[in-house]
């Protein structure tokens, strides 16, 4: 197999979904080019001079935009990358999108109007946010405080997203498909934390806090202002109940039910990443 027409570019290759997709493709013997600033050649969303080399000889691309499709300028950047990808000979685009985000839906239309084959993965919040991202440290400390109330979210397992992405990148049957990806049930953040506490036999609490108090806490951590604005937007706008309904995207794409949050908790607890007992 040559790397000239069959190689797949995975953007965000070190992220929660990109890492899993890369691992699956490599295990299947599929040539993969990892798209990240540390890769060779490097890829940087903020440096368009890195794009040509990353796209050279690429057949398909998994697009995971960092930090989020909701940030200012993301739409224009995705449009510019898509135009260059098509010009470079890419014939398949798979976009990771965000459920309930107007800006993400605008980016979806860019991909849909690209003139090449496409698949959209419109995902709810990841289960793995509790173990691989910004929720991990508070969970380890025993208290997760967030500016969200009694709103249920059908957390989706990143393993499901990765499995669908690999199918869409390598096999027919997913052309022009928009898959809305959720878990099989919706949980409030308090319920999700309780499941983790029960499985690890640790005392972990969830506390709802006012948005302004959360903003002040992030400012004290000296996080970038743009990142703080993004986080508050996601909590106060996207998590307003609009995403609570369950979707059937995993079933449609894979022919099986979505992985349950409890399954994720049990798998993760066994690794010891949350401490306590599994």
Q: What is the sign, positive or negative, of the torsion defined by CA atoms of 9, 13, 16, 19?
A: positive
CB atoms within 10 A of CB 140: 15
Domains of the chain: 7-124+157-182+245-258 (3.40.50.720)
* pLDDT tens by residue, 2-54: 333 489 999 999 999 999 999 999 999 999 999 999 999 999 999 999 999 99
Beta bridge partners of 54: none
Helices (H), 56-117: 74-87, 102-112
* pLDDT tens by residue, 103-129: 999 999 999 999 999 999 999 999 999
Mean pLDDT of 194-208: 97
DSSP strands (E only) in 128-255? 143-146, 152-153, 177-181, 187-188, 205-208
* pLDDT tens by residue, 223-244: 999 889 999 998 988 899 999 9
Nearest Cα to Cα of residue 41 among 13, 81, 16: 13
């Amino acid at each position: 197999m040559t790397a000239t027409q069959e190689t797949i570019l995975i953007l965000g290759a070190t992220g929660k979904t990109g890492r899993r997709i890369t691992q699956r493709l490599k295990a299947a013997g599929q040539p993969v080019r990892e798209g990240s600033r540390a890769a060779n050649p490097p890829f940087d969303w903020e440096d368009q001079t890195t794009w040509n080399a990353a796209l050279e000889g690429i057949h398909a691309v998994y697009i995971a935009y960092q930090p989020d499709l909701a940030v200012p300028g993301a739409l224009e950047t995705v449009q510019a990358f898509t135009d260059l990808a098509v010009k470079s000979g890419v014939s398949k685009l798979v976009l990771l999108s965000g459920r309930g985000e107007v800006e993400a839906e605008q980016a979806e239309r860019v991909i849909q109007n690209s003139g090449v084959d496409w698949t959209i993965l419109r995902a709810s919040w990841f289960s793995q946010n509790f173990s691989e991202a910004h929720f991990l440290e508070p969970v380890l400390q025993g208290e997760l405080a967030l500016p969200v109330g009694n709103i249920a979210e059908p957390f989706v397992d990143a393993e499901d997203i990765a499995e669908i992405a690999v199918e869409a990148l390598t096999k027919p049957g997913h052309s022009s498909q928009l898959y809305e990806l959720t878990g099989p049930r919706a949980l409030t953040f308090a319920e999700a934390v309780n499941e983790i506490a029960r499985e690890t036999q640790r005392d972990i609490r969830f506390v709802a806090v006012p948005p302004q108090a959360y903003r002040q806490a992030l400012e004290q951590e000296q996080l970038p202002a743009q990142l703080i604005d993004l986080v508050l937007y996601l909590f106060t706008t996207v998590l307003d109940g609009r995403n609570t309904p369950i979707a059937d995207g995993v079933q449609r794409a894979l022919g099986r039910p979505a992985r349950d949050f409890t399954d994720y908790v049990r798998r993760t607890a066994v690794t010891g990443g949350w401490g306590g007992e599994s």
